Structure 1
């Protein structure tokens, strides 16, 4: 038994040594066992059904889409928006004035709610006689009133340039209509709202304004002349009085969502109205250049903000903003320019030069505000009909 085991081990050793000594080609071929068959792999899914590992790259925008345009009339609507007591109760729009007032394209045509005295202030043109007392059968030209000033202005624009007819027929300008000119405007509220809406969305501006008003609706002390009315004749909730806002700590105003600078700007504006440096009467009667000079001196109010307030708040009809990119774009389309080519000029993106804008707009005096309003509407109208 031992000899058999020894012989078997010797044969194994000798075969191992022989295998190490021979080259691989001399060794007998070794048959490999076949691997057990597996289920066939499913065919790959079509390429279009595979989920992409990374999101597709966005297309590069054109130059004229990379830069945000200056806000259009939709963005400055907060200036004339009335504060509301209860959001479930919509603010009633005023009806057309029962008795028309005299109007003047070179003066303030909106009735202003004085934040100082709680009275309604309106400018009076040079011939201050009531239009209802005009002599009958007079040979003089009919007077300009809040009822006919829009009609006169539209006729003037068409007379200057026949291409305006298509815009006027397609878009009614409620801003300078009899109904629009009957709306009471609180200048302190309008200017403060303009500051609130700077560099934020319209929804955010409305929310901040609502919280700002709520800060002063807790029964805090209000001057006697304001307590006697509490609201304007339209029944709307009173915007905070300047004398309430001026002494309010910055930290309190910031709880409404205002930034540090905006809170400082609104307090500074309130101090101007509270001291009498700014007043509804001055804004109603002063020349346009004087209004611009005094308002630009207030921190937080730039030229564009003042121009929009003069147009949408004071309803002055001879305001024109050279720095508004939306107006530039509309004017370029109006004169048949290629508005797809927005070029950088002097470090700023422009559709046309300010000098050219001024030359064109000067022809429409004294109704440049209405002309500007229609330039915002140009892209909503088929400009081919203007040829």
Structure 2
């Protein structure tokens, strides 16, 4: 954007707190002794959503199977190539340029396939806000490179669904291990047992466990 394109009086809009967040915090602290200690440590921080579905899904693909630090660095390189992160920009960039910014061959294929799904309207983006969690997941996992974990991250960070428990997420399992089991390894069944107290606010509990491991991450 050139200086002449900028608004004269730009207004910075602040992210909106999910409407359920405060109620969820109160309920979780009532029910769960670990949450009672953990939640107050993060004051007024809360889950910050990502508005654009294509950006959210692309970023999740970029982040698959690498550390947070590596994912952030790769994402910044990707944004240098596709600053608006639209499906049109991705398709215009093409295979070679996406590979050149550091994406693996497989992730490049996945992101191009995602862009084609959006271009051809093979996904019902406009209906996702009204669809049930599992129905959105079922649609998303039809796209190459999007498994249940990526779909659950989308439900959390884009649709701000309050009751997602991503049992395939290593951060969630590590957070449960550190906070509930003194660092001992935990299984999915252990995680389900701990989370039995959290519904219908599993997203909120998960977010605080993530923060306990990585408190400086914004969202």
TM-score when normalising by structure 2: 0.78
Report the equivalent of 2:78.
209
Residues 255-294 of structure 1: pairs in structure 2 closer than 5 A: 255-294=100-139
Q: Specify the structure having the higher radius of gyration (Cα).
A: 1
Query: Aligned pair in 2 of structure 1 residues 294, 198: CA closer, same or farther (>3 Å)?
Result: same
Gaps of 5+ in 2: 4-10
Residues 1-387 of structure 1: pairs in structure 2 closer than 5 A: 94-95=13-14, 146=19, 149-172=20-43, 174-176=45-47, 180=48, 185-200=51-66, 201-213=70-82, 238-240=84-86, 242-246=87-91, 249-335=94-180, 337-339=181-183, 341=184, 351-378=185-212
Q: What is the Cα deviation at residue 281 of structure 1?
A: 1.6
Q: What is the Cα deviation at residue 264 of structure 1?
A: 1.4
Match of 1:364, SS?
coil
TM-score when normalising by structure 1: 0.47
Match of 1:277, SS?
coil
Deviations 1:107-145 (A, max 9, x none): xx6xxxxxxxxxxxxxxxxxxxxxxxxxxxxxxxxxxxx
Once residues 338 and 95 of structure 1 are traced to their aligned partners in structure 2, the CA distance between those partners, rounded to angstroms, is 37
**Number of positions where the alignment pairs a residue of Structure 1 with one of Structure 2:** 206
Deviations 1:212-257 (A, max 9, x none): 215xxxxxxxxxxxxxxxxxxxxxxx332x2453466423433333
Deviations 1:275-313 (A, max 9, x none): 222243222111100111121221112222222222122
Once residues 41 and 173 of structure 2 are traced to their aligned partners in structure 1, the CA distance between those partners, rounded to angstroms, is 20
Aligned residues of 2:78 and 2:98 also touching (Cα < 8 A): no
Match of 1:358, SS?
helix
Structure 1 or 2: more helix by fraction? 2
Match of 1:363, SS?
coil
Runs of at least 4 residues of structure 1 off by over 6 A?
Answer: none
Question: RMSD value over aligned CA atoms?
Answer: 3.1
